Amino acid sequence: MKIPTLLCLAALTTFTRADFTDEQKRVPLEVDTTDTKLAKIVVIAGSVSSKPGGHEYFAGCTILVNALKQTPGVWPVMAAEGWPKNEHIFDNARAVVIYADGGPKLPFLDAARWEKMKSLISKGTGFVMLHQAVDVPEDRADEIQSWLGGVFKKDIGCRGHWDMSFDTFPQHAVTRGVKAFSAPGDGWLYNLHFLPGAVPVITGQVPDKARTSADAKAHAGRAETIGWAYERKDGGRSFAFTGADWHTNWKAEGQRKLVVNGILWSAKIEIPESGAPVAFDEADIMKNWDSKPKPAPKAAAPPAENTAK
């Protein structure tokens, strides 16, 4: 007798982090499957970061998970706080997505996590890095670049916030069905170090004032790569997109489709000519935001001096 997939689920991991909102606590985390016919994709949200509306990693990952569920045969598994509590969710994963802070806050830098990620890469697991995650520590840059095809380094890399619009895309499986979209006020990283074979899948114009490194200034007017696909020497696939800072830009179907296509491509899942389905209820854009500290209230002004005589 065939056992229903739902009976194959591992127990739902219970999270008690105090600053999860009540809404976030209702999001299923680390719900695994033992059905090897399903393409499991592990989506990891980084810890609380930035101001409300920016770096909403938890909320952004819920949007990606809901979109990935729309492709038949895909089983997305979401983890929070930068790393799963139960590392067995990596077992048989077709791809791993990291949507988190980078630099020294990159969530897999400690020795045990690093070795786990290295092991997954060596098995040909798909590898996806979003937004700040492409900013990597100098001492890990060469190895992560060999996994991802490109990395941000401070010597030539630039970052900042500005409006960008995209209306043309190169022919690639990752760009199938992607239509023109805008990303007002988003945060971007560009002028990265790329390996041969890293294929730009989305480029855009950068304001001259945002060119802060000497190398970037030398290429004024050049369309800059902010998303790429890379086929690794080990046969694995990787995808990266440096936008997705400002959360409300996930409302753009073009952005959702590009990123979901990239994730599926990294997992070696065939993408239809119309692109991956990414149906979305705009009301969901305000769901699952992080609980972030509110500014301290301003001290009350002293009472005005009574000068009446």
pLDDT digits (tens, 9 = 90+) for 207-243: 999 999 999 999 999 999 999 999 999 999 999 999 9
Q: Could you tell me which residues come within 8 angstroms of residue 51 by beta carbon, excluding any fewer than 6 positions away?
A: 292
Question: How far is it, in rounded angstroms, from Cα 180 to Cα 254?
Answer: 6
Domains and CATH numbers, the chain: 5-286 (3.40.50.880)
Tell me whether residue 147 is exposed, middle or buried, using C-beta atoms within 10 angstroms of its C-beta: 0 to 12, 13 to 18, 19 or more.
buried
Does the structure show a pLDDT above 50 at 10? no
Mean pLDDT of 109-131: 98
Residue-level pLDDT at 231: 98
Q: Convert 194-213 to b/e letters by CB count within 10 Å (16 or more is b).
A: beeebbbbbbbebeeebbee
Contact 34, 8 (CB under 8 A): yes
Residue 61 CB neighbours (<10 A) = 25
What is the per-residue pLDDT for 292? 65
Query: Residue for token digits 């209820």?
Result: 281
For residue 178, what pLDDT band results from cuts at 50, 70 and 90? Answer: very high
Residue 300 — pLDDT band, cuts 50, 70, 90? low
Q: Which two tokens stand for residue 123?
A: 């098995």
* pTM greater than 0.85: yes
CB 130 within 8 A of CB 179: no
How many C-beta neighbours within 10 Å does residue 290 have? Answer: 23
DSSP code of 246?
Answer: B
The alpha-helical segments, DSSP class H, found in 10-129 are 22-25, 57-68, 111-122
